[in-house]
Amino acid sequence: MSTLETNLIQPATGTALQVGASGDTITIPSGATFNVAGTVGTGFTQGITEFDSWRLTANYTGSSGVIDGSWERQDTNSENIKLGTGMSQSSGVFTFPSTGIWRIAFWSEFSHSAASNYNGFYLDYSTNSGGAFSYLNGAWGNADAASRISTLGTEAFLNVSNASTYRIRASASGTNNATYDGNTNVNYTYFTFIRLGDST
């Protein structure tokens, strides 16, 4: 391997500069910085490549169990902003389209059925296609009487190293039943998913 040291590589006027041939790998060493002062052309992966949002369309009532009242991808007017392949879903359990570091946010508006010590939800993830789930994050609130409404949200980051086996879900958790609100036009109970970068 030989080394070329120079301050400027400039193509002839009216021509394009090509570095390497088809199939070659161009490596930028660890600690180095690759700056682009002009316009980035085609062929580069830029910024966020996956974004998706799903909402509950029918109420779910319970003090435990997977929150599943029929989910749909957010699809009202300008809200329809899925980027990339998007998540897939079955009975409230979501599957990732690709590996990576994912930001997962979950929000819910729900009403308490009685005065309660707590009601809320878990975010659970699985690494074995739903065979077993582990706690990732959660949120809880209490109420001094029935019919009180809480709005809670949480977010978590998950290193999805195998897209075919990782799963995520939200599960109800409480001392009494709560009704987690669903609506086909408004995000009352909903997920957002953003892929931030490559898996570690």
Average pLDDT over all residues of the chain: 88
Instruction: Evaluate if residue 97 carries a pLDDT over 70.
Output: yes
Which alpha helices (H) appear in 79-183, and where do they start and end? none
- Find the mean pLDDT for residues 179-194: 95
Is 1 a residue whose pLDDT tops 70? no
Query: What pLDDT score was predicted for residue 41?
Result: 59
Q: What is the pLDDT of residue 197?
A: 94
Position 108 pLDDT exceeds 90: yes
- pTM higher than 0.75: yes
- pLDDT per residue over 122-161, tens digit each? 999 999 999 999 999 999 999 888 889 999 999 999 999 9
Alpha-carbon distance values, 184 to 76, 95, 111, 152, 189 (Å): 9, 21, 18, 19, 10
Rounded mean pLDDT of 79-95?
A: 91
Is residue 28 scored above 80 in pLDDT? no
pLDDT value, residue 152: 95
What local confidence, expressed as pLDDT, does residue 47 receive?
79
Mean pLDDT of 34-57: 76
Instruction: Give me 92's structure tokens.
Output: 């409230």
With CA atoms as reference, report the closest residue to 124 among 169, 63, 62, 60. Answer: 169
Q: Measuring CA to CA, how many Å separate 132 from each of 62, 66, 78, 141, 152?
A: 21, 13, 37, 26, 25
Lowest mean pLDDT among 49-53, 76-80, 99-103, 188-192: 76-80
**Domains delineated in the chain:** 50-197 (2.60.120.40)
Selected residue with higher pLDDT from 146 and 91: 91
Exposed/middle/buried for residue 62 (C-beta within 10 Å: 0-12, 13-18, 19+): middle
Residue 76 scores a pLDDT above 90: no
Q: Return the higher-pLDDT residue of 199 and 33.
A: 199
